[in-house]
Structure 1
Amino acid sequence: MTGDILVDAASSLVPGISGAVQSYKRARFERNIKTFTEELHTKIEDIRLNLELKTSVQKEQIDKLFQYVLDYVIDEQQEEKIQYMVKEFVNITEHDHVSNDFVLTYYDVL
């Protein structure tokens, strides 16, 4: 994150570089979201079955955890890791309780 801030600050000082950096980030964002949705689509039935067994409170927690996962997907520089992110999200939906700290630590290590 600090690296991104430094790159943004430096690119804003040099004319023309800012557009190139933003274009690169936009392209990475689009690639990652496309890969994520494709991977998620292949696992959607597993997720649906897991969510049927959850209470509304558990579903709200899973929604919150999904937002964390999405944040990691958006910023991921290695597109190959996204399949593991989806696989772990499916595993998260299997459990009755998963802490925020566990999820954040897992995705930080990944």
Structure 2
Amino acid sequence: MRAGFSRGDQRVLRVRLRVTNVGNRSGAAVPQIYVGRLPTVRVRTAPRQLAGFARVDLRSGRSRQVTVRVPREAYSFWDSGRDRWVTPRGRLRIFVGRDALTPVASTTVRVR
């Protein structure tokens, strides 16, 4: 799994991962992308928040590279005093898994 921003563009985080069907039948997988706690003391956020997902149909034994786009709002918080989204700077953990309780991979990105 790799995660990062396009050069000079912090508006959309892209998470790239490989999905493999290790079963004996064709099927679908739905890898889910979660962001960890936001790097701020102004608000308390959940340890993992759903930020994006993709449905991938695969035949048995096949793999596919998938890119999930995570919008800026997924790693921001709403500041009602300022009446706008605020994106805190710092290190942000990114997780991928079948659900929020069972991450299978993680990485860290720097939000500027």
Q: TM-score, normalised by structure 2?
A: 0.26
Name which one, 1 or 2, has greater alpha-carbon Rg. Answer: 1
Query: Whose strand proportion is higher, 1 or 2?
Result: 2
Q: TM-score, normalised by structure 1?
A: 0.26
The structure in which a higher percent of residues are helix is 1
